Structure 1
Amino acid sequence: MQRPLTLIALALLLSGCALGPDYQRPQQSIPVQFRQSEGWTLANPSENLERGRWWSLYGDAQLDALVERLNLSNQNLAAAEAQYRQARALARGARAALYPNLSTSVGVSRGAQGGGQSATSLGSVGTGSAVSNSYQLGLNAAWELDIWGKLRRSLEASEATYQASAAELAALRLSQQAELVQNYLQLRVLDDQQRLLDATVAAYARSLKLTENQYRAGIVAKSDVSQALTQLRSTQAQAIDLHWQRDQLEHAIAVLVGVPPSELRIAARPGLPTLPQIPLALPSQLLERRPDVAAAERRVIAANAEIGVAQAAWYPDLTLSASGGYRSSSFANWISLPNRFWSLGPELALSLFDAGARRAELERSEAAYDQTVAEYRQAVLASFREVEDNLVQLRVLEQEAGIQQQALDAARESLRLIENQYKAGTVDFNSVVNVQTTALDSERSSLTLLGNRLNASVQLIAALGGGWQLQPASKEDDARASVDPQ
């Protein structure tokens, strides 16, 4: 009895170590500061920082309600959440492998042994086999001692995969939210363009009526009436063209919130959402919240742990097993002391020849690790590029919007002057048409620029992981994230 106990103690002592490399974050060349913004400092990815209701920066209650519906009913999120729960269950299963397994069995069998023939005293031939019954009740226990860390590395890989799945769910949620917000903002810009074109159509209709009256009075030529009518119908066509664009955005929003397009109607209303004011200096800690970068790193951790699992396959597995129960050929005295049985002992199992299968698996695991490291580094580089792109886009669009506003003010003043001159009879209608077209184009360009700035602001928020607040998540938020990652 002393030897098995000594072997068990030695196995438990060895189980404190684990084969394979311990995880270290891959080295990455990070710039000291962003090219497009001052005041950035270096930081490490940590997706647990609170993102908050970043869409509320646009000050639109209807947008807030639509995003909440997306969080609850989006089918892409539902599929990703189910995948996340699968990964969580696999991690729990890997943890269960560290503990002993206990099972019980009960069975009844009937059989015979032998089958030769024997001669009887009367000269007849009989069989030498005997039919017997067997009743068995047993309890079995088995525990694989994790001497080389194979089970712990498997658990490490499963937990990292589970965390990667949670981060991927958060990344998809952020992506779907950003898509909905962009669609909604563009829809509101189209509503403003629709109001502009409707007002322009009404103004052109009045201009046509005035021109017709002047033509009947012999003041202007027939060509002025034709030009006025052409301008009116062309603008009406532009106004009609906006309808299908708006409907498509409305349909896209309906699918994002998980309902058929026929069940969602977003009424037009005056006013545009607020363009958020972006801080002049954005610290690089904001990139800590990017869930796609976090997911890429978790996949590196999982691949690193799989190397340890592959290395442990070269060493023997030690299993402690025990069984006991009752076995009898008679049901009457089945459960009785004389019919008991038990066994206890360790078992070592080692594969002696596998034609290179273990070496191939180790090489595959190492190659998979190298792949995830490259993907992680690429995700980090892509995150910095996206922030740079959106920062420069917002800066350039802001400058462009300032110049465009000056052009719009000049176009409005020019239109006012030319209309007065036309009413005074000092210019022809062709001059009025040209200025009106320029003014309308300038108005629409201003709205398009505003839509582009709103889009770029959403893209920057998404590139930063969801807003630019730096407050860490509370304990309650962390507990909620462990069940439903945001």
Structure 2
Amino acid sequence: MKGQGTRLFASRLMLGSCLLSVLAGCDMAPRYKPATFAYPDNWQGGGVMQPAGGADTTLSPNWWTVMGDPVLNDLEEQAMRLNPDLQAQAEAFLQARDLAMEAKSKLYPQIGGMAGGAKYKGSDHRLWRGAGSTGPMYMSSEQYSGTATWEPDFWSAIRNKTRMAKQNVQERAADYAAARLSLQAELASDYVILRGLDAQDAVYQDSIRYYKTAVQITNMRLAGAIAPGMDVSRAEAQLYTTQAQETDIHTQRDVMEHAIATLVNQAPAAFHIAPVDKLNFAQGPLPVALPSTLLERRPDIAAAERRMAQANRAIGVSRAAFYPHVTFNAMTGFMDNGFDLASLSNSMYQFGAQALLPLFQGGLRRADLQRSWSQYREKEDMYRSTVLDAFKEVEDGLTRVNRLKVQVGQQSSAVDAALRTQGMTMALYTGGLTNYLDVVVAQVAALNARIAMVQTCTRGIDARVELIRALGGGWSRNQIPRGENVLMPFKPLQYSNLRQAPAAGGITTVRDPASTDLGGGTKARVPLDSPAAHR
């Protein structure tokens, strides 16, 4: 009879364990499958939609090095180490990791301890204390106890919240990558514009030298009484107007230099880049992307997909609210009116279980579930919008690069013609065969053509930078951290050195000591061609 009772207890225990295992495996979230899209056979720009096995889509993470400018390489390296906005994004990533650990901690029993003591004295004249009462006036209490609370995650509400937090970490990692790419592209674009202004300044300086010669010629002809004073006035007006335009270029360059200084964590007053005479950027072939490859290489698309995955898990959390909410708790310890605690007679304990199922809430849970489904569809629509924007940006970049390449050739022909006209009209004027008005017209046309040429070349190089940015700039989705290194910013038993977390996904919050030196200092790598002597 005793053996039969033992077998019955064992079978019930096994049945209960199996039931708990089944309940613990219930996942209320729908099966997640990212949205897939049908792509057109061709894309009008002819660059994005390539057949399988098409052009190489690999970009170097240090993609700006293909431009062949050592100063730009140095500036990009400084920005990646020191830019405060990028460092703030890294801190946001670390905070998301800590929030994920907080969510995961709810899966484990919550254990605590308590110790306390007190001494009380009652009043002789307290209410209901009769005359001559011999009841105690003093009382002391000492108590030591331990508590444990555990919520079995039968309906995967806690696990889905943990998965949502993990997916939020991955979203933050993608946001960091997007911010880094944006910083790299903004710095490269500003630098290209700066060098374009340098090239325009060189054109203005060349024209000013030419116009000073023209003023001398008109003055000599006026002195010889073979030209009117009007010619001198026109030549001087042309000279002074061009000098004013050059001053405006200097203003624009200073402002652009200040913007670059801020990006590399330097105060503008302590920063300078020496000017050059022309654009000297390498322009090798750029890769284009397959549709599927582009989705893997754009950090903003990866972030949108992670938001969609979180919304999917939120549906499971909302569904779990329709089922009983079960918790177990236990407490044990000792309590006495003195210090004699180490005896079983002074021990105490309690344990229990609680299951809570709201029966009527006026549609609260149904509204929450319906809202979760709507939020998922909203994130799905936003994901599709992000994909479309990505294709648009790549196609825009390809169009600009191709069209501006043609435009540069056309503008080059215009410059050659304008310079020939300028030279011939000056020769005719010097020989007394035409008036100076024709010379002015030719000079204006030549200057405008040369400036337009520099601007078109600058726009073409900047378009290449924007195209690389649209292609993801060498980033890949496999750089997003996965596994437990996402959720473990510290070791299980680590209680010290919590100021910094180990790097994950190549993202670290350890500050470079040079980040506090806004003056460029000896540790900050200021471009070698920009000493204070150039200022």
TM-score, normalised by the number of residues in structure 2: 0.81
CA offsets 1:51-110 (integer angstroms, 9 cap, x no match): 511111211111122222222232322332222221111111111111222211111134
Q: Could you tell me which residue of structure 2 aligns to residue 427 of structure 1?
A: 434
Q: Specify whether residues 369 and 98 from structure 1 end up closer, same or farther in structure 2 by C-alpha distance, changes over 3 A only.
A: same
Partner of 1:294: 302
The structure 2 residue matched to 1:71, chosen from 36, 55, 80, is: 80
Q: CA deviation at 1:50?
A: 7.5
> For 1:390 and 1:436, how far apart are their aligned partners in 2?
34
| Corresponding position of 2:376 | 369
Match of 2:246 among 239, 247, 266: 239
Change (3 A) 1:451 1:209: same
SS in 2 for 1:234: helix
Q: Which amino acid aligns with 1:313?
A: A
Aligned partner of residue 482 in structure 1, secondary structure: coil
CA distance in 2, matches of 1:223, 1:54: 55
Structure 1 partner of 2:225: 218
Does structure 2 conserve the Cα–Cα contact (< 8 Å) formed by 1:170 and 1:485?
no
- Measured in 1, the distance between the counterparts of 2:50 and 2:328 equals 54
Who is 2:68 aligned against?
A: 59
Question: 2:217, 2:155 → 1: CA distance?
Answer: 94
**Other structure's SS at 1:219 match:** coil
Match of 2:167 among 134, 154, 160: 160
CA distance in 2, matches of 1:218, 1:50: 67
Which secondary structure does the structure 1 equivalent of 2:245 belong to? helix
Change (3 A) 1:480 1:422: farther
Could you say which residue in structure 2 is the equivalent of 1:209? 216
Q: Which residue is 1:306 aligned to?
A: 314
Q: Deviations over 1:315-344 (max 9, x none)?
A: 11222333322222221x212343233344
Contact 2:397 2:463 in 1 (8 A): yes
Q: Secondary structure at the match of 1:319?
A: strand
**1:13 counterpart = 2:36:** no
Tell me by how many angstroms 1:116 deviates. 6.5
What root-mean-square deviation, in Å, do the aligned CA atoms of Structure 1 and Structure 2 show?
Answer: 3.0
Tell me the secondary structure at the aligned position of residue 189 of structure 1.
Answer: helix
Q: Report if aligned partners of 2:23, 2:154 keep a CA contact under 8 Å in 1.
A: yes
Name segments (4+ residues, structure 1) moved above 6 Å: 1-5, 112-116, 469-475
Q: How many residues align?
A: 474
Cα deviation for residue 480 of structure 1 reads 5.7
Residue 332 of structure 2 corresponds to which residue in structure 1? 324
Shift of 1:11: 1.8
CA distance in 2, matches of 1:372, 1:31: 23
- Shift of the 370–283 alpha-carbon distance from structure 1 to 2, 3 Å rule, reads closer
The C-alpha deviation readout for 1:107-156, integer Å capped at 9, x for no partner, is 1134699977466xxxx443757753222212222221111110111011
Residue of structure 2 aligned with 1:484, choices 501, 504, 507: 507
Distance in 2, matches of 1:41 and 1:12, equals 50
- 1:333-348 equivalences under 5 Å are 333-348=340-355
CA contact 1:51–1:465 (8 Å) conserved in 2:
no
| Structure 2 residue aligned with 1:351 | 358
Alignment-derived partner of residue 279 in structure 2: 272
Is 1:259 matched with 2:282? no
What's the CA shift for 1:347? Answer: 2.8
Query: Is the Cα contact below 8 Å between 1:37 and 1:282 reproduced in 2?
Result: no
Partner in structure 2 of residue 199 of structure 1: 206
The AA in structure 2 aligned to 1:324 is: T
* CA distance in structure 2 between the aligned counterparts of 1:485 and 1:374, rounded to whole angstroms: 32
8 Å CA contact retained: 1:50, 1:472: no
| 1:37/1:281 contact within 8 Å kept | no
Aligned to 1:145, what secondary structure does the other structure show?
Answer: coil
- Secondary structure of the residue aligned to 1:396 is helix
For residues 337 and 411 of structure 1, the distance between their equivalents in structure 2, rounded to whole angstroms, comes to: 107
Q: How far is 1:381 from its partner?
A: 0.6
Number of the residue aligned with 2:529: none
Taking structure 1 as the reference length, what is the TM-score of the superposition?
0.89
**What is the identity, as a one-letter code, of the residue corresponding to 1:399?**
V
Q: Does 1:96 align with 2:105?
A: yes
The answer to whether the Cα contact below 8 Å between 2:175 and 2:300 also exists between their aligned partners in 1 is yes
Report the Cα distance in structure 1 between the residues aligned to 2:504 and 2:129, rounded to whole angstroms. Answer: 78
Identity %: 34
The farther-off stretch of 340-349 and 444-453 is 340-349
Post-superposition Cα deviations, 1:180-235, rounded to whole Å, max 9, x if no partner, equal: 11111101110111111011111110111122112211222222212111111111
Whole-angstrom distance in 2 between the partners of 1:164 and 1:349? 34
Supply the AA of the counterpart residue of 1:249. M
Give me the whole-angstrom Cα distance separating, in 1, the residues matched to 2:116 and 2:13: 30
Instruction: Give the distance between the partners of 2:405 and 2:119, measured in 1 at CA.
Output: 89
Aligned to 1:46: none
2: distance between equivalents of 1:319 and 1:32?
56
Q: Indicate the SS of the match to 1:99.
A: coil
Change in Cα spacing, 1:400 to 1:384, as seen in structure 2 (3 Å) is same
1:440 and 2:463 correspond: no
Residues 76 and 187 in structure 2, CA contact (< 8 A), matched pair in contact too: yes
Unpaired stretches in structure 1, ≥5 consecutive residues: 44-48
Q: Which moved more, 1:430-439 or 1:1-10?
A: 1-10
- Counterpart residue identity of residue 92, structure 2: Q
Cα distance in 1, alignment partners of residues 137 and 37 from structure 2: 77
